[in-house]
Amino acid sequence: MKTIFQLAFIITLFVCSSAAKVIAQDTIIFTDGTVVSCKILQVSTDEVKYKKFDNLDGPDFIKRTSEINMIKYKGGLWNY
């Protein structure tokens, strides 16, 4: 019986941590309507540097702020 509770506890922790990873991401909404889940690295007055959330070890992407309609940060704050 104790083993079942331990297994249920481990599964619950795994599910909760997986859900947190999905939720904890930034989102860029471009002026053409494209939505990208990402990790914002740097924001300046002219450019935004980010990594795509599905490839955080991959290349950095840089877009002009004129191409971006809105940025939603993982904490719920909005920019632009």
Kindly report, residue by residue over 22-42, the tens digit of the pLDDT: 556 999 999 999 999 999 999
CA-CA-CA-CA dihedral for 50, 23, 56, 60, to nearest 10: -10
Rounded CA separation 50/21 (Å) = 17
Burial (CB count within 10 angstroms: exposed 0-12, middle 13-18, buried 19+), residue 61: middle
What is the residue extent of each domain of the chain?
25-80
Topology of domain 25-80 in CATH is SH3 type barrels. (2.30.30)
pLDDT surpassing 50 at residue 19: no
Report the percent of the chain where pLDDT is more than 70. Answer: 71
pTM over 0.85: no
Task: Tell me the average pLDDT across 48-65.
Answer: 97
